[in-house]
Structure 1
Amino acid sequence: MTLLRRLAAEFLGTGVLLAAVVGSGIMGMAMSGGNAGIALLANAAATAGILYVLIAVLGPVSGAHFNPAVTLALRVHGALGTREAIGYVIAQCAGAMAGVVLAHAMFGQPLLQPGAHARTGAAQWLSEGVATAGLLLTILLGARTRPAAMPALVASYIFAAYWFTASTAFANPAVTLARALTRTFAGIRPGDVPGFMLAQLAGTVAALLLAPLLRAPAAVAESPPAA
């Protein structure tokens, strides 16, 4: 698989993911009359659903990272080289921003609109660290024990994390950066982006430290579950 094809898959996948995140937030608020709870449910469901599709379809092409934190973790594990990792991160960030612009265009909104949603403070940062660590552990452990179930594992985790974290589980630096370009339900103030990214980095490091302790031995991981 050529690097260009893999980068295209990362750009497209991250772009579609952000279009779903931002678009479902706009639609959820419009159809619920501004009810934030219903909008969050729509947002979580759309995000989880599109993640399942994207991972299932594009996973065989690029590995379906769509997330610099995932790329960093897999680079540390030696799954890809430094040049590839840098290319992945650039493609993910560019795709994420393109996805936000696409969502705005679909709903007839200004294409670029700096975020105004305040997301800061210790609780938000802790939530992002937990959300990112959980996502990375789901991927690192699931890839060994249940690789065929990866689309469902990631989609299920993100759907749940939307609801059990105060930050609604961005868990993705590219997503965070791009969501600073929207003033809609899914947005974040540009000034709050660095705090989120540092928390996501801390969560990535925590997952990399925990994964070896939690990883099942090869014989256990490869054996079928008991009936």
Structure 2
Amino acid sequence: MNTRLLSRLLAEFLGTGLLVTVVVGSGIAASRLSHDTGLQLLENSIATALGLAVLILLFGPVSGAHFNPVVSLVDWIVGRSARNGLTLAEAGAYILAQVVGAIGGALLANAMFELPTHVATTERVTAGTLIGEVVATAGLIMLILALARSGRSAAAAPAIGAYIGAAYWFTSSTSFANPAVTIGRIFSDSFAGIAPASVLPFIAAQLVGAAIGVGLTLALFRSEKVLAEAAADVVIPQTTDR
């Protein structure tokens, strides 16, 4: 494994880990500082939106700032014809780094707030929340691909942060939209946690949403070739050699 790929994997590990730290940590803080559930969600969503935008800006030039297995899978899928996205091996390595980072991020949040690490007990699966995850993930993938396709990837950090912050509120699932983050949140029995039994249905819904997002983007932009050529800019262009 070359040093360039190692740097990218480190960026994905740190970025995804810190994202989960932001999500879980702000959820813990919100539950301690506020007694109203709506206010807790507002505090959690604002922190997540701002934190995600900062992390994209920080790590994007190194790895592209995927921080999300479905984004890495989509990057591989749409970039295959132009051969400018991730290779299958790179996508697998990205996903592993993201999942390990996400778990580490939850453990870090627990440690900062002096909470024991317990498996989450919050059951989240209903028909409505699964539909919410499909919608949230489809919208995220459409946004990322549309920005790359139209040459506006420089706007990804504020745009994606704003989308996730909004999707906390307009989706019934509060917009996990990320298998790695979903797995990481198992390890915090807090406001942001998710019980293990809810994880696989959530991830399945996210994969369905990603497929719908790719399909809708192709339908809107009507050029698989042009979309594939934009894969190198998902989420944002890397400024160092691939």
TM-score (norm 1): 0.93
Taking the aligned partners of 1:209 and 1:186, their CA distance within structure 2 comes to 31
Q: How many residues align?
A: 216
Counterpart for residue 54 of structure 1: 55
Counterpart for residue 201 of structure 1: 207
Counterpart for residue 221 of structure 1: none
Check whether the contact 1:100–1:182 (CA below 8 A) recurs between aligned residues.
Answer: yes
Percent identity (aligned):
49
For residues 71-126 of structure 1, what are the alpha-carbon distances to aligned partners after superposition, in whole Å with 9 as ceiling and x for unaligned? Answer: 0100101211011000000000000000000000000001x211111101110100
TM-score (norm 2): 0.87
Taking the aligned partners of 1:17 and 1:9, their CA distance within structure 2 comes to 12
4+ runs of 1 displaced by more than 6 Å? none
Shift of 1:144: 2.2
Check whether the contact 1:128–1:200 (CA below 8 A) recurs between aligned residues.
Answer: yes
Tell me if 1:70 matches 2:75: no
Which amino acid in structure 2 is aligned with residue 13 of structure 1? G
Secondary structure at the counterpart of residue 126 of structure 1: helix
Matches within 5 A, 1:154-169: 154-169=160-175
Secondary structure at the counterpart of residue 77 of structure 1: helix
Question: Could you list the runs of 5+ residues in structure 1 that have no partner in the other structure?
Answer: 219-227
For residues 31-85 of structure 1, what are the alpha-carbon distances to aligned partners after superposition, in whole Å with 9 as ceiling and x for unaligned? Answer: 11x3211111111011110111111111110000000010010010121101100
Counterpart for residue 40 of structure 1: 41
Taking the aligned partners of 1:42 and 1:4, their CA distance within structure 2 comes to 35
Which one has more relative contact order, counting CA pairs under 8 Å at least 6 apart? 2
Tell me if 1:87 matches 2:93: yes
How large is the Cα RMSD of the aligned pairs? Answer: 1.2
Counterpart for residue 225 of structure 1: none
Tell me if 1:115 matches 2:120: yes
Taking the aligned partners of 1:107 and 1:57, their CA distance within structure 2 comes to 25
Tell me if 1:99 matches 2:105: yes
Taking the aligned partners of 1:64 and 1:42, their CA distance within structure 2 comes to 24
